[in-house]
Amino acid sequence: MKVLKTNLNGVMKIELESFSDHRGKYTETYNDEIYKKSGINVDFVQDDISYSKKNVLRGLHGDEETYKLVSCLHGAFQLIVVNNDDKSSEYKKWISFELSGDDDYQILIPPKFGNGHFVTSADAIFHYKQNTYYNPKGQFTILWNDPEYQFTWPHNNPILSKRDEIGNFEK
């Protein structure tokens, strides 16, 4: 496993090791001991998966407390991570990643960062671990097309939830 720094302080790209043979591929996606030895001292308590169709955009969401460890289990998507800490010198800066079920990458997203993903394949499975239990009251939403950020998405007319369309939290 390799832990790589990115252009945003605290956001890390993790390259996992895998083994392939005539049967397919094996990848260990999490080992607490190895992650802690690599400097990722986060105690994860919840795993979540979302399945989405092509052109679905989910996010950009985050909160003040949660670390997320994101990966793509199937398909492909563009992931954008944005710093939402108004006390940071990198406030409103963002970075983009292309993730697919064929690669062995994870992205560690720290608290006060938002993230969103846009499905570029026929469908995709987005997986993430969290170090806190989901709490809708602590969530923030950054609009996917907020002109202040100038996000670059692969499509200008994505499929959105009401929350992502108007920027409020509503189920």
| Confidence class for position 170, pLDDT limits 50, 70, 90 | very low
Q: Please state the rounded mean pLDDT for residues 128-133.
A: 97
Sorted by where each starts, the structural domains of the chain and their CATH numbers stand as: 2-166 (2.60.120.10)
Mean pLDDT for the chain overall: 94
Q: Please state the rounded mean pLDDT for residues 121-130.
A: 98
- Active site annotation includes 128: yes
Q: Is 126 strand, coil or helix?
A: strand
| Confidence class for position 171, pLDDT limits 50, 70, 90 | very low
Read off the tokens for 166: 């108007």
Place of tokens 């190895």: 34
Of the residues 35, 61, 67, 117, only one is catalytic, namely 61
Q: Which residue has the higher pLDDT, 107 or 168?
A: 107
Of the residues 128, 133, 149, 155, only one is catalytic, namely 128
- Give the containing element (helix H, strand E) for 109: strand 105-109
Q: Please state the rounded mean pLDDT for residues 1-8.
A: 95
Q: Which of 164, 51, 56 is nearest to 114 (CA)?
A: 164
Position 168 scores a pLDDT of 66
What is the C-alpha separation between 32 and 130, in angstroms, rounded? 13
Amino acid at 23: R
Q: Which residues pair with 113 in a beta bridge?
A: 83
